[in-house]
A = this chain, B = another copy of it.
């Protein structure tokens, strides 16, 4: 008998019919003899409806009251799903975040889970019930309702799985797993049957929006095996777990990309200690997030400094940089909002040499100019012209044999 935590997002519970389909799927697991905890989001559209109500009343609603309002969304879903399960003869009980003591800090609208009292859930599981828990919500130490922010339901599911020491946490979405790259860009993209937490973090942070980074981090920290599956079709999905010694890992797991970046350079900066902070400090102070950072030592005591920001922040960041350039006596500021970042991701890289040179060779053969390079232990990222996105992804996908079936 396994203990499975399943999480269904807003689209998966977006109508009465879909809730009934989820109930049928949950019942099948329960009938097979496993214990099931189900975490659900608000029905799709419901959160928007509530947000509109709030904004009709106040342009900046108090975060505490906003959370009281938003938390009703998941509460509706848990009740309906429990009804649907009971109607199928599968005994079920619903709980709000507060009822199962999902204790969070008091950072309303983006609270973090501190603790979960799993006793009540375990009691119901042992009594043969399916337990349905509202995702996205918790309660602070004073009993105030909190919400976890974007993707919070994934985090709820992982946290419950960790607290209950579940055998697996299954995240049901509208895709059937994690792919070697985006199938809309590379039709030969292949679903991965397994991927490691570290790889998933790199894939997620690079724009593969299957799972929220927070949930993956949480799962990694507590070693909760995470599986991404489709709510709408059957299949084994992708299992995210720690690397296992006896696993014949492919060198590269996938290719991530990010279309949302823009590049800024400040050239001919007199090179002295503190210059990096002098350049990046004002950008960070304006709440602009910086992604890649590269500094080259230039000729004659000057240096060139390049970084990337979200494309929406390009104009703001550029005008800050112009000011900094004048202060520092830099030669010029250049920038380009039409760039993309391509990344090879794979834990196999650690023990394989020559991955980077093969990547650069492949791109060179296609005439793709590399503008920036940045590496970590398990990924290599390059910035190229926007127009090369598809060509770059496809040629790398083929060069690293990602369309091949996996060995495991």
- Copy total for this chain: 2
Residues of B contacting A54 in the complex (Cβ-Cβ under 8 angstroms): 79-80, 83
Within 8 A of B (CB), among A30-44: none
Q: A69-B80, A78-B68 are in contact. Are A57 and B93 (CB under 8 A)?
A: no
Within 8 A of B (CB), among A8-45: 16, 19-20
A238 within 8 A of B: no
Instruction: Determine chain A's interface SS by DSSP, over half rule.
Output: helix
Bitwise, A245-271 to B at CB < 8 A (1) or not (0) is 000000000000000000000000000
A66 within 8 A of B: yes
CA distance A196 to B74 in the complex (A): 44
CB atoms of A84 and B69 under 8 A apart: no
A226 within 8 A of B: no
CB atoms of A19 and B84 under 8 A apart: no
Residues of B contacting A231 in the complex (Cβ-Cβ under 8 angstroms): none
Question: Shortest beta-carbon distance, A104 to chain B, in Å?
Answer: 15
Residues of B contacting A76 in the complex (Cβ-Cβ under 8 angstroms): 50, 53, 69, 72
Residues of A bordering B, CB below 8 Å: 16, 19-20, 50, 53-54, 56-58, 61-62, 64-66, 68-69, 71-72, 75-76, 78-80, 82-84, 86-87, 93-94, 96, 98-99, 143-145
Given A68-B82, A99-B143, 8 additional A-B pairs, CB 8 A: A50-B76, A57-B80, A65-B93, A66-B79, A66-B83, A68-B94, A75-B75, A99-B145
Listed A/B pairs (25) with beta-carbon separation below 8 Å: A19-B57, A20-B57, A54-B79, A54-B83, A57-B80, A57-B83, A57-B84, A58-B84, A58-B86, A58-B87, A61-B83, A61-B86, A62-B82, A62-B86, A65-B80, A65-B82, A65-B86, A68-B75, A68-B96, A69-B75, A69-B80, A72-B75, A72-B79, A75-B75, A98-B98
